[in-house]
Amino acid sequence: MAPSWRGRAADGRGRRKGAASTALMHASGGCAGGVSRATLGRMSTSAAAAPHPVRWGIIAPGIIAHRQVADMRRHGLRVDAVASCELARAQAFAAEFSLARAYGDYAQLCADPEIDAVYIASPHPFHAEQALQAIAHGKHVLVEKAFAMSAAQAQTVFDAAAARGVIALEAMWVRYLPYMRVIEDWLAEGHIGRVRAMSADRSTVLSTDPTHRVRAIELGGGALLDVGVYAISFVQAVLGAPVAIAARGRLTEQGVDAAAAAVLEYAGGALATVTTSIDTVGTNAVTIMGERGRIEVLPNAYEWPFDVRLLDAEGTQLGAFTASHEGCGMHFQALELESLVAAGRTRSEVMSPDDTMDVLRIIDEIRRQIGVRYPSDDANEDLADERGRRRRG
């Protein structure tokens, strides 16, 4: 396929030019060989310079929000309010975490003048609408993966955030974790030479209930948007946007992808394979392969803790890193947003809007090839047509 997106290619060592890290610098961990503690010690102090702590509100107090707020509280971040479509759920969540306010309406939280940023943890079909509502009230937004149902939908959120002068950041958890900075440095230092190939798997067995969110077409079900987005984002972090994609998939009776596999081709000749499933026990590992060695993110690459190792061509271990701190590491993505606020910036270099758009364009194309179509796709096409008319007119 011919790409329709703007990609930033890798620089030949597998690292995009100009990439920087802020939240990743708040890391602690154990390392051996190949990595100096100085690499992990370059901590951003910008958050301390903020005029007041960022005051967070939470939309949709489900399982992922519990993990997020537990980590934020554990590491000293301020969370003041929560909203649910069911007031009782919001009140229970507020009681659990000693939050000051609970709302039974998302609009009330978005309008709260004492909230600076909103973490959105609802199912992905609702992300764009809720983000736009918060942005309209001048709030920064940290939006769970998948950021939106499609690249077109995500663009509306980024455009609104830019117009309002606020931050719109994807909560793609793995991109902010300490081991990503270690991998970035190993690649930049040339330990494995030019990256020639990558493999990334995110496969697990989820609910077989046909009415469950992961199998419901109207709720954006399927492997790609729920779990495959991790593997695709990992590949994009290293190699950028591909020039061609070839994909195959297996669909459920409900029309969502039970499994998908894709080969991504890059301008410099690198190839990446991505596999994902909601009914298969996978390796859940990532391997970055170069001319002189490889980097392995050992199973489970998307669970806690993380082990990463650097190997030469003979398989000799040159370096290793094991993440070592309390919690799940979900506070790093909130720290990234807070550091941007403190610095007076709206664009992250850890997970930029371009990165999110690249990932969603890859998913859009894989969905197109394997035949997954959501109700929101019709609205996205209408929006694209309208944008085209405006450009021509």
pLDDT of residue 130: 98
Check whether 375 has a pLDDT greater than 80. yes
- Give the residue ranges of DSSP H helices in 287-347: 331-343
When pLDDT is averaged across residues 225-248 and rounded to a whole number, the result is: 97
| pLDDT value at 41 more than 90 | no
Q: Cβ(252)–Cβ(280) under 8 Å?
A: no
Tell me the C-alpha distance between 150 and 131, whole Å: 14
Mean pLDDT confidence for 196-217: 94
Work out the pLDDT band at 322, boundaries 50, 70, 90.
Answer: confident
List, in order of start, the domains of the chain with CATH numbers: 23-42+176-327+347-381 (3.30.360.10), 48-173 (3.40.50.720)
Q: What is the mean pLDDT of residues 338-345?
A: 98
Average pLDDT over residues 386-391: 58
Place of tokens 């004492």: 114
What's residue 392's pLDDT?
53
Please tell me the pTM assigned to this model: 0.87
At residue 95, the 3 state secondary structure works out as helix
Count of beta carbons in the 10 Å neighbourhood of residue 320: 19
* Overall average pLDDT of the 174-203 stretch: 96
In which region does residue 245 sit, left (phi positive, over 0), alpha (psi from -120 to 50) or beta (all else)?
A: beta
Which tokens is 388 given? 């085209």
Q: Check residue 374 and give its pLDDT.
A: 97
Task: Among 47-56, 61-70, 97-106, 216-225, name the one with the lowest average pLDDT.
Answer: 47-56
For the stretch 120-139, what's the b/e string if a residue is b when 16 or more beta carbons lie within 10 angstroms of its beta carbon? bbbbbbbbbebbbbbbebeb
Query: What are the φ and ψ backbone dihedral angles of 351, each rounded to 5 degrees?
Result: -140, 85
Compute the distance between CA of residue 188 and CA of residue 182 in angstroms, rounded to an integer: 10
* 281 touches 305 (CB < 8 A): no
Q: Calculate mean pLDDT across residues 307-323.
A: 94
> Cβ-count burial of 389 within 10 angstroms (0-12 exposed, 13-18 middle, 19+ buried)?
exposed
pLDDT of residue 323: 77
- Measured from the Cβ of residue 33, the count of other Cβ atoms closer than 10 Å reads 12
Over residues 129-171, the pLDDT tens digits come to: 999 999 999 999 999 999 999 999 999 999 999 999 999 999 9
Beta bridge partners of 260: 249, 276
Q: What is the pLDDT of residue 48?
A: 37
Type and span of the H or E element at 361: helix 353-370
Quote the pLDDT of residue 50. Answer: 44
Neighbours of 279 (CB within 10 A): 17
Q: In this structure, what DSSP letter does residue 33 have?
A: E
Cα–Cα distance for residue pair 223/220, rounded to 1 Å: 10
Distances (CA, A) of 179 to 173, 206, 277, 309, 329: 12, 26, 24, 10, 11
* 187 touches 12 (CB < 8 A): no
Tokens 């096409």 locate to 381
The confidence score (pLDDT) of residue 382 equals 60
Q: What average pLDDT does this structure show over 180-205? A: 96
Please give the biggest Cα pair distance in the chain.
Answer: 61
Strand order in the sheet with 317-323: 29-33, 317-323, 307-312, 293-297, 286-290, 195-203, 271-277, 257-265, 244-251
In this predicted structure, what is the pLDDT of residue 4? 36
